C-alpha cells in the first residue's frame, strides 16, 4: 500500500513512543503496523477504497501517534489516544477492562473507524467499528481482514 507522502504527520513516532502507547493501551502492535506508523504516521492512502460484504468503504486517513497532541490542533484530533478518549466506552463490552482490546487505527468517511481487534487472538484482526450503532459497553463491529497485512493489501493499487 502506498500513501500520499504530503499527508504524513511529523514528527514520526519512534520505538520509545510506540512502547509508551502500547503500555498505556496494554497491547502489542503487530510489527507490520509498527513499521507502517513509524514511516506513515497519520497518512492518507493513495487507494482509500475497500470493500467487504458488497459494501464500499473509504478511509479518510490513518490515525497518528503524537508525543503531544495538544501542540498540533489539526492532527491532534486524529491521535490514537485522543480518539480512544472520545469513544473508548463504546469500543469495549467490558467496563472492568484495563487497557484496550479494540484499538482504532484509521478514520472512515462514514464516521466509523478501522480498528485492530485484540479480543480473540494474539495477532489482531482488522475490524470496522460502527459509530452510530455502538453504545456504551456495546460495540458493533465487523471483521474485514484477518490481520493488518491483508487489510493493507485491500488498499493496494
- Environment class of residue 93 by beta-carbon count within 10 Å: exposed (0-12), middle (13-18) or buried (19+)? middle
Q: How large a percentage of the chain has pLDDT more than 70?
A: 98
Kind of pairing between the strands at 44-45 and 3-4? antiparallel
What CATH code is carried by the domain that includes residue 44? 3.40.1580.10
Per-residue pLDDT tens over the stretch 95-143: 777 678 999 999 999 999 999 999 887 799 999 999 999 998 889 999 9
**pTM of the complete model:** 0.94
Q: Cβ distance 109 to 128 under 8 Å?
A: no
Tell me the residue range of the domain where 71 lies: 3-154
What do you get for the CA distance between the two ends of the chain, in Å? 7
Structural domains in the chain (count): 1
**CB atoms closer than 10 angstroms to residue 3:** 21
pLDDT confidence of residue 63: 98
pLDDT confidence of residue 98: 65
In angstroms, rounded to a whole number, what is the distance separating the alpha carbons of residues 117 and 104? 9
pLDDT confidence of residue 148: 97
Amino acid at each position: 500500500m502506498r500513501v500520499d507522502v504530503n499527508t504524513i504527520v511529523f514528527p514520526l513516532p519512534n520505538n520509545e513512543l510506540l512502547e509508551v502507547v502500547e503500555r498505556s493501551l496494554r497491547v502489542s502492535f503487530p510489527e507490520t503496523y509498527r513499521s507502517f506508523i513509524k514511516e506513515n504516521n497519520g497518512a492518507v492512502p493513495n487507494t482509500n477504497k475497500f470493500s467487504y460484504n458488497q459494501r464500499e468503504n473509504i478511509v479518510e486517513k490513518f490515525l497518528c501517534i503524537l508525543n503531544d497532541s495538544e501542540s498540533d490542533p489539526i492532527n491532534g484530533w486524529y491521535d490514537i489516544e485522543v480518539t480512544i478518549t472520545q469513544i473508548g466506552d463504546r469500543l469495549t463490552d467490558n467496563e472492568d477492562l484495563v487497557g484496550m482490546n479494540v484499538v482504532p487505527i484509521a478514520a472512515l468517511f462514514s464516521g466509523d473507524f478501522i480498528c485492530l481487534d485484540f479480543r480473540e487472538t494474539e495477532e489482531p484482526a482488522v475490524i470496522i467499528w460502527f459509530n452510530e450503532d455502538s453504545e456504551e459497553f456495546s460495540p458493533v463491529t465487523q471483521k474485514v481482514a484477518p490481520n493488518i497485512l491483508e487489510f493493507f493489501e485491500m488498499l493496494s493499487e
